[in-house]
């Protein structure tokens, strides 16, 4: 019988998958925020509100994870990549390459969203401000720096715990993308009023570069807090999941 096993994807294939997957994530969630949730100042009867944005985030990740998870592992998030490396689930040597690919995918998505607005004369100086993550003036409900830092770090930690749990050898096969997407939806419903719900430095950078001075000045928090949360979860996970013989590496 011939060997029909699929060949192991190369690094180039993995990075391409991360670019496309992160593009889908940012295009889905920020596109919904800009065009359908009233954040860009439009009404038109298409306001899906916070629930719509939360669903867009979860569904975008489900789509990307099913499509590209078998190739790259479906990270689409620098905090996830770093957290998986700390947890021993991902090779440190590929971490920088993955993060760069995620940034490329995110910035490409936000740039095309900007072009779509500009092509119809709907682009304003604050179009991306309302979709940017931050505190005080950038927080939908006016939460301060400490609150936003805690919610971004804590939600990212919970997110990584779920990823590590549903990709363990004891988890039900085939359901990881659904669990991960549903988790993101729930976490976004909690965090959108507080921070605008990023949990993802690539998503935060992609919107902040077009979000004006406040977004640029606050983007550091949306980079640092998710990474801190992911590292904390990864360290704790070694006492929960990673006893010898219980866990395998995350599937690529």
**Is a pLDDT exceeding 60 seen at residue 131?**
yes
Q: Is the pLDDT of residue 37 over 80?
A: no
pLDDT in the model for residue 154: 97
User: Which pLDDT score is estimated for 160?
Assistant: 96
User: If you average pLDDT over residues 90-119, what whole number do you get?
Assistant: 96
Q: What is the mean pLDDT of residues 51-72?
A: 94
The dihedral through the CA atoms of 153, 154, 159, 165 has a sign that is positive
pLDDT at position 132 over 60: yes
How does residue 2 score in pLDDT terms, banded at 50, 70 and 90? Answer: very low
Q: Note the pLDDT of residue 170.
A: 67
Quote the percentage of the chain above a pLDDT of 70.
Answer: 88
Tokens found for residue 147: 């609150």
Distances (CA, A) of 189 to 56, 182, 234: 11, 11, 24
- The mean pLDDT of 26-38, rounded to a whole number, is 89
pLDDT of residue 102: 98
Measured CA to CA, the distance from residue 57 to residue 89 in angstroms comes to 24
Q: Distance from first CA to last CA of the chain, Å, rounded?
A: 25
- Per the structure block, which two tokens stand in for 67? 């499509």
The Cα–Cα gap between 99 and 3 comes to: 34
In this prediction, residue 13 has a pLDDT band, given cuts at 50, 70 and 90, of very high
- The least confident of 14-18, 134-138, 156-160, 236-240 is 236-240
DSSP 121: T
Confidence of residue 209 (pLDDT cuts 50, 70, 90): very high
8 A C-beta contact, residue 182 and residue 48: no
Place of tokens 């939806």: 185
The pLDDT assigned to 247 comes to 33
Percent of the chain with pLDDT over 90: 73
What is the predicted pLDDT for the residue at 116?
A: 94
pLDDT category at 62 given cuts 50, 70, 90 is very high
| Helical H segments across 5-144, by residue range | 11-35, 49-72, 78-86, 95-119
Place 123 in a pLDDT band, splitting at 50, 70 and 90.
Answer: confident
Computed over every residue of the chain, the mean pLDDT equals 88
Residue 244 in this model has a pLDDT that exceeds 80: no
Q: 246: which residues sit within 8 A by CB, 6+ positions away?
A: 168, 169, 170
- Has residue 1 got a pLDDT over 70? no
Query: What mean pLDDT do residues 163-169 have?
Result: 83
Tens of pLDDT along 197-208?
Answer: 999 999 999 999
Residues 121-143, mean pLDDT to the nearest whole number: 91
């Amino acid at each position: 019988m011939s060997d029909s096993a699929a060949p192991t994807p190369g690094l180039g294939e993995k990075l391409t998958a991360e670019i496309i997957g992160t593009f889908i994530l940012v295009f889905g969630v920020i596109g919904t925020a800009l065009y359908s949730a009233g954040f860009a100042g439009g009404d038109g009867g298409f306001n899906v509100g916070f629930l719509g944005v939360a669903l867009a985030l979860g569904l975008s990740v489900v789509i990307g994870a099913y499509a590209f998870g078998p190739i790259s592992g479906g990270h689409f998030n620098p905090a996830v990549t770093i957290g998986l490396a700390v947890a021993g689930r991902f090779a440190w040597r590929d971490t920088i390459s993955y993060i760069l690919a995620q940034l490329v995918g995110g910035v490409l998505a936000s740039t095309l969203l900007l072009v779509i607005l500009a092509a119809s004369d709907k682009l304003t100086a604050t179009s991306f401000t309302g979709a940017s993550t931050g505190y005080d003036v950038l927080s939908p409900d006016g939460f301060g720096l400490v609150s936003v830092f805690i919610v971004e770090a804590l939600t990212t930690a919970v997110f990584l715990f779920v990823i590590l749990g549903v990709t363990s050898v004891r988890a039900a096969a085939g359901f990881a993308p659904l669990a991960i997407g549903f988790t993101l939806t729930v976490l976004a419903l909690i965090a959108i009023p507080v921070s605008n719900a990023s949990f993802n430095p690539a998503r935060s950078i992609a919107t902040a570069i077009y979000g004006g001075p406040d977004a640029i000045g606050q983007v550091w928090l949306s980079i640092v807090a998710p990474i801190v949360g992911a590292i904390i979860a990864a360290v704790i996970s070694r006492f929960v999941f990673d006893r010898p013989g219980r866990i395998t590496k995350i599937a690529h």
